[in-house]
Structure 1
Amino acid sequence: MIRIAPVGRVLAVAAATSLALTACGGGSNTATPESPSAAPSSAAPAAKGDGTLTLGSLLPQTGSLAFLGPPEFAGVDLAVKEINEAGGVLGKPVAKIHTDSGDTTTNIASQSVDKLLTQNADAIIGAASSSVSESVIDKITGAGVVHFSPANTSDKFTTIEDKGLYFRTAPPDQLQGRVLGDLIVADGNASIGIMAMQDSYGTGLADQVAKTVQDGGGEVVERVDYDPKAADFSADVAKIKAKNPQAVVLIGFEETSKVIGELVKQGMPADKVKWYMVDGNMSNTNYVKMPKGTLKGVKGTYPGAAAPDEFRQSLMAVDPKLEDFTYAPESYDAANLIALAAEVAKSDVGADIAAKLAEVSKGGEKCTNFKTCSELLKAGKDIDYDGVSGPVEFNDAGDPAVATIGIYQYGDDNKYPVKALEYRTGNIEG
């Protein structure tokens, strides 16, 4: 079961139901070294390492989640930089190869995976979108390569056939849905409307939000699962408006900008109807050109603990143009965990790395960066890597056993601050 509680105190949840695991939705092309990650599997094809840990990234440079690309790339780049400054993996610098994941409207991800496999990537970090990862997981794991996402949250990945080679640092979306649903009820909303993009991410997250709201005594008066590629959302918004909800939950990607425009046009601005958003559309770039105050007071959730100031400064040194840090901690942690697992395995082979990922994530002496952890390993110690995104203790499914969701609020500038209003942590027990 999953227990959710605000950090430092108990969260009064609406119901004590168990949570299953649901959905969220990359790169460039530069060769430099890094590490693979995943769980062991006898079904994984035999692969031979070349002694250099090569990490590929499959992250959004284009498409509906392109705004997530910069922080995710920066997280990987920072980790690789620190790993190589600490001596690399297996006595050699980690190599990295960045590629674009695009989105589900293109075949970019499949082409990028082909490129990474041709260049002997041992592990691939990405994609950001659950649907994109689902479209390439067979190709990646079928090649004996670790598939490690910093942002996938679909429940499908908990039970998907992955030859033991799929891992993620992002928590399942039912955890986020539970936190968001609790928040909506706690804010005094008795009636809500839901507008969710129609894919595994949108519908899965909407299901959990709806369940949590209803368990807490609220009512979902209208729900619209829409085509994110639609040119117009006026009819969808009209259905929500007709039911006069106190709050509207917006679950989607960049098309949310169009939905917001229609909400305002139809007389449902954020100062009259409360809006709630999620990780897929929480952005500090997509809404800044809207009239001042359009998103003022809007609340939203996305996974991850508070990123220390020092970490954000280090990211900015890697990419001075960063405007937000969404999934940067999870990307950073993914690269470090892969590198540490390769060190323990004494191998850059995907299945070997996968077999050690859970081991380096729990049960040993705690350490928080590659340099400190590798020094402990050299001293013959077992390690427990605690990441920037959280403890990252993997369960048998390759999911994080403990995760944190931040609750954020937009200001008059249509941006949300780096620090959340509140962080709530969920423990997932087998």
Structure 2
Amino acid sequence: MSVFAKASAKRSARAAWTGLAIAGVSTLLLTACAQGGTPPAETETPTGDAGDALPIAEGERDLALKLGTILPQSGTLAFLGPPEEAGVQLGADDVNGADSGLAVEVVYRDSGDTTTDIATVSVTDLLSQDVSAIIGAASSGVSKTVIDQIVAAGVVQFSPANTSADFTTYNDNNLYWRTAPSDVLQGEVLGNTIADDGNATLGMIVLNDAYGTGLAEFTKTAFEAAGGEVVAEALFNEGDSSFDSQIAEVTAANPDAIALITFDQSKIITPALVGSGFPGDKLYFVDGNLFDYSADFAPGLITGAKGTLPGLDVGTLGDFTDRLLTVDPALTDYSYAAESYDAVTLIALAAYAANSTDGAEIAKYLRQVSGGSGEGEKVSTFEEGVALLAEGQQIDYDGPSGPITFDENGDPTEATIGIFQFADDNTYSRIGDG
């Protein structure tokens, strides 16, 4: 079993979103490999390759599409909730504004984290309301607690932020999809970035769940392939509040750099690490903990530290971020907002193509409308897409998160990983793409 990540040539995003060239797009070539969890299972592929697309359903549309969300309003990923929910709402607004005969209603619920049973309660509530699809969770660990329940109900689960490689071959009956790339790619970019910075040895403090251990494995593989050595890897569990033993274990190995593969536990771990004498500029963060620490840390604590985060540079997204602020004026972080927007848009386009709000029927068309099959015409908005679908034409949707192009496992085959660096005020900015 193997997983390969291969860089593709630069390509441009649709003018409606960026008007600019997007650099650093990478193509993931994923083969069947799961890191623990449910054993690999064959996944039905109803749309097949490019020549095997389903015909677009005929007839007028009068569809009421109800979507639910299980995004983090509480817990260790709560900072991701506002941008993700804003992306969902903006997507729904754009679908409803197209006057296509398809109307979206969204029911928002909390996912919590893996220390609570909030996600299960939320999913049970949403399923009782006959939703066609559930967007979320953000946490791969949380998604693992509810995916079987959602799949058994015949409902689409669509995550904008799950990155665990376990989902690639999960036995999901073709109902699980995501716009976030597998950690295969983020791990490669993170490991190579750490090596490229001249570090020969690496320690890691890792959340012991599907997200943390998977990303750590791919980071280690890339770092060691570049000639480095991982000298310590200390695990902790969700809900832990003291990390003294993990910090002692990793610093005792005297690594050149330390990667923090955590959620908001980094707010405790980081000052403790630096307080123990480890240099703040030798810390590396990931998507689960890359956020504004200006209110949490003393100025200069992590100046020069770096991190990685999937997604395009928000500076290339034209008016998309401005439009998000009309939904939530308090937004200061846009992580996974574009992926959430695209989740809504793709679900709506698939429902329109199927002329159905049944979850299984929507799932049959998701790969197709993303350009993974059907050899469709490029579109960058829901309105453009339904105009062609209404004529029976195939489409290939690329939205503000960039090119998507689902493979047969419901994974995006193209993605961009940003590389970021922290300034003296403990805020971060993009310095490149991996």
What interval of TM-score do these two structures reach, taking the shorter chain for normalisation?
0.7 to 0.9
Percentage of matched positions with identical amino acids: 47
Question: What are the residue-to-residue correspondences of 1:163-178 with 2, within 5 Å?
Answer: 163-178=173-188
User: Of 283, 296, 312, which residue of structure 1 is paired with 2:291?
Assistant: 283
Aligned equivalent of 2:105: 95
Distance 1:220 1:287 in 2: 30
Distance 1:19 1:249 in 2: 27
Aligned equivalent of 1:349: 358
- Unaligned runs of 5+ residues in structure 1 are 24-37, 42-48, 425-430
Does residue 127 of structure 2 align to residue 117 of structure 1?
Answer: yes
Superimposed CA distance per residue, residues 170-229 of structure 1 (whole angstroms, 9 cap, x where no aligned partner):
110121000111111111111111111111111111111111111111111211112242
Aligned equivalent of 1:231: 241
RMSD of aligned alpha carbons: 2.5
Aligned equivalent of 1:32: none
Q: In structure 2, do the counterparts of structure 1 residues 365 and 6 end up closer, same or farther at CA, with 3 Å as the change threshold?
A: closer
Q: In structure 2, do the counterparts of structure 1 residues 50 and 98 end up closer, same or farther at CA, with 3 Å as the change threshold?
A: farther
Q: In structure 2, do the counterparts of structure 1 residues 85 and 51 end up closer, same or farther at CA, with 3 Å as the change threshold?
A: closer
Q: In structure 2, do the counterparts of structure 1 residues 50 and 366 end up closer, same or farther at CA, with 3 Å as the change threshold?
A: closer
What's the CA shift for 1:40? Answer: 5.3
Q: In structure 2, do the counterparts of structure 1 residues 175 and 210 end up closer, same or farther at CA, with 3 Å as the change threshold?
A: same
Aligned equivalent of 2:14: none
Aligned equivalent of 1:2: 5
User: Of 265, 269, 274, which residue of structure 2 is paired with 1:264?
Assistant: 274
Question: What are the residue-to-residue correspondences of 1:69-84 with 2, within 5 Å?
Answer: 69-84=81-96
What's the CA shift for 1:5? Answer: 6.0
Superimposed CA distance per residue, residues 115-170 of structure 1 (whole angstroms, 9 cap, x where no aligned partner):
11111110000000111111101111111110100011111111111111110001
Q: In structure 2, do the counterparts of structure 1 residues 164 and 335 end up closer, same or farther at CA, with 3 Å as the change threshold?
A: same
Aligned equivalent of 1:27: none
| Secondary structure of 1:220 counterpart | strand
Aligned equivalent of 1:303: 310
Distance 2:280 2:169 in 1: 38
| Secondary structure of 2:138 counterpart | coil
User: Of 146, 152, 157, which residue of structure 1 is paired with 2:162?
Assistant: 152
Please tell me whether the aligned partners of residues 129 and 151 of structure 1 are also in contact (alpha carbons under 8 angstroms). Answer: yes
User: Of 190, 204, 207, which residue of structure 1 is paired with 2:200?
Assistant: 190
Superimposed CA distance per residue, residues 91-138 of structure 1 (whole angstroms, 9 cap, x where no aligned partner):
142111000000111110001001111111100000001111111011
Distance 2:304 2:32 in 1: 29
Aligned equivalent of 2:146: 136
Aligned AA (1:378): A
What's the CA shift for 1:22? Answer: 6.6
Aligned equivalent of 2:56: none
Question: What are the residue-to-residue correspondences of 1:203-222 with 2, within 5 Å?
Answer: 203-222=213-232
Please tell me whether the aligned partners of residues 379 and 396 of structure 2 are also in contact (alpha carbons under 8 angstroms). Answer: yes
What's the CA shift for 1:339? Answer: 0.2
Q: In structure 2, do the counterparts of structure 1 residues 210 and 151 end up closer, same or farther at CA, with 3 Å as the change threshold?
A: same
Please tell me whether the aligned partners of residues 63 and 103 of structure 2 are also in contact (alpha carbons under 8 angstroms). Answer: no
| Secondary structure of 1:162 counterpart | coil
Please tell me whether the aligned partners of residues 32 and 169 of structure 2 are also in contact (alpha carbons under 8 angstroms). Answer: no
Distance 2:325 2:10 in 1: 27
Q: In structure 2, do the counterparts of structure 1 residues 115 and 139 end up closer, same or farther at CA, with 3 Å as the change threshold?
A: same
Does residue 324 of structure 2 align to residue 315 of structure 1?
Answer: yes
What's the CA shift for 1:10? Answer: 11
Please tell me whether the aligned partners of residues 294 and 427 of structure 2 are also in contact (alpha carbons under 8 angstroms). Answer: yes
Superimposed CA distance per residue, residues 310-343 of structure 1 (whole angstroms, 9 cap, x where no aligned partner):
1111111111000110000110000000000000
Superimposed CA distance per residue, residues 274-316 of structure 1 (whole angstroms, 9 cap, x where no aligned partner):
11110011112x5533101212111111111223131111111
| Secondary structure of 1:94 counterpart | strand
Q: In structure 2, do the counterparts of structure 1 residues 39 and 169 end up closer, same or farther at CA, with 3 Å as the change threshold?
A: farther
Aligned equivalent of 2:378: 366
Consecutive aligned runs of 4 or more in structure 1 exceeding 2 Å deviation: 4-11, 16-23, 38-41, 227-231, 286-289, 378-381
Aligned AA (1:280): G
Distance 2:136 2:172 in 1: 15
Q: In structure 2, do the counterparts of structure 1 residues 253 and 19 end up closer, same or farther at CA, with 3 Å as the change threshold?
A: farther
Aligned equivalent of 1:379: 391
Aligned AA (1:4): A
What's the CA shift for 1:232? Answer: 1.5
What's the CA shift for 1:39? Answer: 6.9
Distance 1:238 1:385 in 2: 49
Aligned equivalent of 1:389: 401
- Unaligned runs of 5+ residues in structure 2 are 12-21, 37-43, 48-60
Please tell me whether the aligned partners of residues 297 and 411 of structure 1 are also in contact (alpha carbons under 8 angstroms). Answer: yes
Does residue 78 of structure 2 align to residue 66 of structure 1?
Answer: yes
Superimposed CA distance per residue, residues 225-275 of structure 1 (whole angstroms, 9 cap, x where no aligned partner):
12242222122111222222111100000111111021022111314xx11
Q: In structure 2, do the counterparts of structure 1 residues 142 and 395 end up closer, same or farther at CA, with 3 Å as the change threshold?
A: same
Please tell me whether the aligned partners of residues 23 and 433 of structure 2 are also in contact (alpha carbons under 8 angstroms). Answer: no
